[in-house]
Amino acid sequence: MNLQGMLEPLRNARGLRGVLLASREDGLVVSSALHPGVNGAAVAALSASLSRRIVSLTRALGQADPPSFELTGTEGTLLAVPAQGNLLLVAVASRDADRESLQRELIDLAGEVG
């Protein structure tokens, strides 16, 4: 299955506004399934930048790289999970999304990417 095909089933989850696969190195979109109005390029760039900073911080503290990270704002949440090949699987969810369920699905899907 291609990347778009892998991302598409997640696109219709409750509260999910989009999901994308981005390069952790440069923040470019590799593949996406986004609802209208979601700026994939901005989400990818922000996620990659946050990922690099979080990994840098945890390593400076002598901790293992986190299996995922979440950024929550007033309008919703950005969930990100590292995938193979220096990729990042990212979901943009509204406030009413089931974040725990979505995070589990992202972790499972991240294992298939690569």
List the structure tokens of 42: 């901005």
List the CATH number of the domain containing 83: 3.30.450.30
Q: In what order do the strands lie in the sheet with 16-23?
A: 29-34, 16-23, 87-94, 76-83, 69-72
Domain that holds residue 104: 3-112
Alpha carbon distances (Å) from 50 to 1, 5, 8, 15, 103: 29, 26, 24, 22, 17
User: Hey, what amino acid is at 58?
Assistant: T
Q: Beta strands of the chain (E only): which ranges?
A: 16-23, 29-34, 69-72, 76-83, 87-94
Give the closest residue to 32 by CA, choosing from 87, 101, 73, 69.
87
Which residues in the chain come in under a pLDDT of 50? 1
Q: Residue 82: what pLDDT? A: 93
Q: Residue 4: what pLDDT? A: 66
Q: Residue 46: what pLDDT? A: 96
Domain count along the chain? 1
